[in-house]
Amino acid sequence: MFVAGLSYKIIGGIIVVAVPAAVLFFSIILQPNQTLLQGYQAGRILAWLKPEEYPELAYQQMNSVIAIGSGQLYGKGLDTNLVSSVKNGNFIAEPQTDFIFAVAGEELGFLGCCIIIILELLIAVECIRIGKKARDLAGTLVCCGMGALIFLQTFINICVTTRILPNTGLPLPFVSAGLTSLVTLFIGIGIVLNIGLQVRKY
């Protein structure tokens, strides 16, 4: 909305409406026998809000936080064969997909996680930079949209693995295993690069 040139008043109005709506949504979810969400959807949110009451549903995220913390500053190394590790144990189902950041935190540590975050941010910022130089509004919107997609997907994935947000199932861009996500990102980046090769505005 900001990139498209909408007024700050409109954007502010949307935020003013969205915040109370989110509060109302969560208050409804916490009610027993609610019908707004399916059982598994409500379970993910309840496990996030009250992990001690839903230990089985919060199992993935709790073990993810433990794995990230166990990596400390430098991590345990990529060649670790410990049974207690997230990669080799059964502490997280399919850790190579949505919870790959937990594996990175355990094996690469805080520094490795910072490098991953910086690389993701650099890709997102470069998409926006190309968009600012695009010759028309459509190119700007496509590039900035791609940058926003990568940034938000990275942000949400890391927030899920650190239990800041409920489990959403979003992969970590360019890192998580999954052909569909990777091909989609490559197509998007290809379009952004093509826009960057067009005659630029000055």
Identify whether the C-beta of residue 92 lies closer than 8 Å to the C-beta of residue 130: no
Predicted local confidence at residue 112, as pLDDT: 94
Distance CA 16, CA 104 (A): 37
The residue extents of the domains of the chain are 62-197
Whole-model pTM?
Answer: 0.81
**Res. 12 pLDDT band, cuts 50 70 90:** confident
State the SS3 of 127-181. Answer: HHHHHHCCCCHHHHHHHHHHHHHHHHHHHHHHHHHCCCCCCCCCCCCCCCCCHHH
Q: Which tokens go with 5?
A: 């040139």
Pick the more confident residue, 89 or 97.
97
Identify whether the C-beta of residue 161 lies closer than 8 Å to the C-beta of residue 99: yes
Identify whether the C-beta of residue 131 lies closer than 8 Å to the C-beta of residue 144: yes
Alpha carbon distances (Å) from 116 to 40, 59, 64, 113, 120: 31, 25, 17, 5, 6
Q: Per-residue pLDDT for 45 more than 90?
A: no
Q: Helices marked H in the chain — which ranges?
A: 8-29, 39-49, 59-70, 100-132, 137-161, 179-197
Predicted local confidence at residue 40, as pLDDT: 73
